[in-house]
Structure 1
Amino acid sequence: MLTPVPPESSWRSVVDGVRRACVAAGEPDPLDEAAQLRLTHHGLDGSTLWLTDEAGFALAHDGAVDLAVAPDERRSGHGTALAEAAFAGSGPVTAWSHGDHPAAARLAERHGLARVRELWVMRRPTSLPLPELQVPEGVTVRGYRSEDEAEVLRVNAAAFAHHPEQGSMDADDLAARMGEPWWDPAGLLVADDGDGLRGFHWTKQHDASLGEVYVVGIDPAAQGQGLGKVLTLAGLHHLAGLGVDEVLLYVESDNTPAVRVYSGLGFEHAASDTHVQYRRD
C-alpha cells in the first residue's frame, strides 16, 4: 500500500492535504511546530517520508515519528501500513498523538511504544477579567529588542535545560521562529533588571480570535520571585489588547506548579485537549 515518494512539490501537496483534512475535521494539526519548521526550511534533508497514495503519511526524523491519515481515509489499512514502515525494528523511537486518539494508542501498543508524556492544552476566554499587573521593583517588562537575542537564548537554555524540545533552541531556531508570519517583537515580553534578563514570555497571535502563551522562561537564578506569574499576566494583558477571544497554552500534565498558576489565572483543561507522547526505548 505504500507509494514511492514523488518530487518535492507533489509530496508537499500530499502532506499539506492530509494536514488540512485533519484540521477541517476539528482535529489538531498532526505536525507540531518543530516538524513544520523543519519541512519548511530543510525539506526532507535528514528525514524519511512514507506515503499511502494521498491518504496518509509518516515522517521520521532523529528517531521521532509523525504519522497521520486523513479522517475520510481511516479504517482502510493506511495507518497500519505506515506504522509498520515507520516503527520497523526494535530501536528507540518516539511519536506524538495530537489529540490522544484511541487508534494511536493501539498502534503504539502493537509496536512496543509506551505512553510516557501528557501535554495538556489549557484555554482561557479573554472575557474573564484579568488582575492588575504589578511588576517587582527594579524590573522592567518590555518588548523584545534585537540586542536581547543572546540573553533570551541564555535564559531559555537555563530554564529548559531538562526539556527535550524547548531547551535545544539555538540562534538558528530563534531566527526561524522570528521569520514566521506571526512574529511580533512587541509580543515577546522580557523582564529586564538592568544587568540582563530574568525571564521572558513569548506570546503568539494565531489569528484575529486566538492567542497563545507560547513560551514562558524564567532564569533559575530568579526563581521564587513570582516572575512566572508576572510575565504570564503581562502577556495575557498584551493578547487581550490585540482583541483575541481566547488564549491557549501547552503545559506538561505533571508540572503541578505551572498548572496551579495557570488555573489561578482562569485557564481550564478538557480531557479531550490532551497530546500524548509514546516511546520505545
Structure 2
Amino acid sequence: MDSLHDARQIERVAALSEAADGTAPLDEATLMALRHPDRFRSWVEGDAVAVLVDGQISLVVAPEARGHGLGAKLLERLIGEVGPQVALEAWSHADHPAARRLAERTGFERARELWVMRRRTSTPLPRLEPPPGVRLRSYTDADADAVLRLNAAAFAAHPEQGAMDAENLAERMAEQWFDPAGLILAVDTSEGAEGRLLAFHWTKRHTHDLGEVYVVGVDPDAQGAGLGRLVTLAGLHHLADLQVNEVILYVESDNAAAIRVYRDKLGFTHASEDTHVMYRRPS
C-alpha cells in the first residue's frame, strides 16, 4: 500500500477503536505526521495497523478484529524490519492488560505513566488576580518568536513539546480548533521589561463540551512566582466562559508538584483508568 492509503486506513481503524474504547489510540503528533509521508512508517494487516513516528510506535486493532493475534503479528513484523539495534517506544493510551502482556513478550519495559486529570466547569474557580507587574493578554502573530523561545527553554527536557519549531507552531495554529484568544500570555510590565513573556497557557477546545489545558509554559528564570498557576487559572476561566462542561489535562505521574497544584488548588481529579503508559525497548 502507498502511504496515503495507509494513512486513511490507520485513521479509520483509530476512529473505530476510539468509538469502542472511549480513548483516542493516536496522539496529536502521530495524527499530524500522517499528513506527511516522509514523517512516518506504517504496517497494515486488514484492521490492524501500526505507525512508527520518531521511534514511537502506535499499534491499533479495530474492535471486531481483536483476539486473533493480529496486533502481536504486526508488532513482530515491525520489530523485524526496524531491527534490534533501534530503541523503540510504544504508548498504550490506557493501561490495557493486553498491552502489558504484549510488551512483556516483546521485550518492552514500562517506562512512563501519563495521567489524564479532569475538572468539571460547574465547580467554581478561584478569582483571577495577577500580581503587580504582570499583565494577561491573548496571543498575536507578533508573539510567535517569544512563544517559541519560552517553549524551548521551559521544555528543554521534554522530548515531544520542547522540539516545537516555527513550522510545527504554524501547523498547530492551522488546526480548526485553534483560537488566538485561547493562547493566554503573562507578560512583564515592570520598568525596563518591555513586555517580556513570562509564561503562557495554550488552551484547546476539542468539542462543544470538552476543553483542555493543552500546554503551560513558564520561563525558567521566572519559576517560583506562581505564574504557572496564574496562567492555568486564566485558561480555565476562558474555557468556562466558552461553556465547555469539562476540562482535561495531561501530566506525568511523577510530577508531584504539578499534580498538587492541579488537584489541591485547581480542583482536578484523576481516575486510575485515565492512565496512559509508555513502554520502551532498549537498543
Q: Secondary structure at the match of 1:132?
A: coil
In structure 2, distance between residues paired with 1:112 and 1:27 = 28
In structure 2, distance between residues paired with 1:9 and 1:164 = 27
Size of the aligned set, in residue pairs, is 273
Q: 1:64 aligns with which of 43, 56, 66?
A: 56
Shift of 1:64: 1.4
Q: Give the match for residue 247 of structure 1.
A: 247
Q: Give the match for residue 43 of structure 2.
A: 50
Q: Deviations over 1:92-142 (max 9, x none)?
A: 111100011111111111111110100000000000000000101111111
Q: Secondary structure at the match of 1:128?
A: coil
In structure 2, distance between residues paired with 1:46 and 1:177 = 16
Paired letter, 1:227: L
Q: Give the match for residue 105 of structure 1.
A: 100
Q: Give the match for residue 75 of structure 2.
A: 83
Q: Give the match for residue 276 of structure 1.
A: 277
Q: Give the match for residue 227 of structure 1.
A: 227
Q: 1:133 aligns with which of 128, 132, 151?
A: 128
Q: Give the match for residue 3 of structure 1.
A: none
Q: Deviations over 1:40-71 (max 9, x none)?
A: 2x1x2142211111x11011123211111011
Paired letter, 1:266: G
Q: 2:188 aligns with which of 188, 193, 209?
A: 193
In structure 2, distance between residues paired with 1:197 and 1:59 = 37
Paired letter, 2:181: A
Paired letter, 2:247: V
Flag structure 2 segments of 5+ consecutive residues without an equivalent: none
Q: Give the match for residue 14 of structure 2.
A: 19
Q: Provide TM-score, normalisation by structure 1.
A: 0.94
Q: Secondary structure at the match of 1:45?
A: helix
Identity of aligned residues (%): 55
Q: Deviations over 1:129-168 (max 9, x none)?
A: 0000010111111100111111101111111110111111
Give RMSD over aligned pairs. Answer: 1.1
Q: Secondary structure at the match of 2:21?
A: coil
In structure 2, distance between residues paired with 1:143 and 1:33 = 23
Flag structure 1 segments of 5+ consecutive residues without an equivalent: 1-5
In structure 2, distance between residues paired with 1:212 and 1:22 = 21
Which aligned segments of 4 or more residues in structure 1 are displaced greater than 6 angstroms? none
